[in-house]
Amino acid sequence: MRKDYLAANAGRRAPMPGFVLLVRDRADESADMRIGITVSKKVGNAVIRNRMKRRFRALAREVLPEAGVPGADHVLIGRNGGIERNHATLKAELAKALAKVQR
């Protein structure tokens, strides 16, 4: 929901070349990690935006279970350079961003 995205904007942020990661602790009893992905029209047409979202979903499935913040909302915001970056680079950047927000 939109209010959850807006609330995550007040959390910790880690800008990376391919995306911006926002992490906000929900402060509830649940240890579930939630993921939100957004890519604006500035990045490209619908085909490019959907490809980027699919790549981000795959990254989240790989990285979040071991490196994510329990009980927090994670939002990935796509940037212009994100679609050209290879999977290994994006994965390393996501791990680095998660480590940065946990400090």
pLDDT in tens, 68-97: 989 899 999 999 988 889 999 999 999 999
Domains of the chain: 2-102 (3.30.230.10)
Distance in Å from the first CA to the final CA of the chain: 28
**pLDDT, tens digit, for every residue of 22-80?**
999 988 888 889 999 999 999 999 999 999 999 999 999 999 999 998 989 999 999 99
Q: Which residues pair with 13 in a beta bridge?
A: 22
**Helix or strand holding residue 19 (H, E):** strand 19-25
Model pTM? 0.89
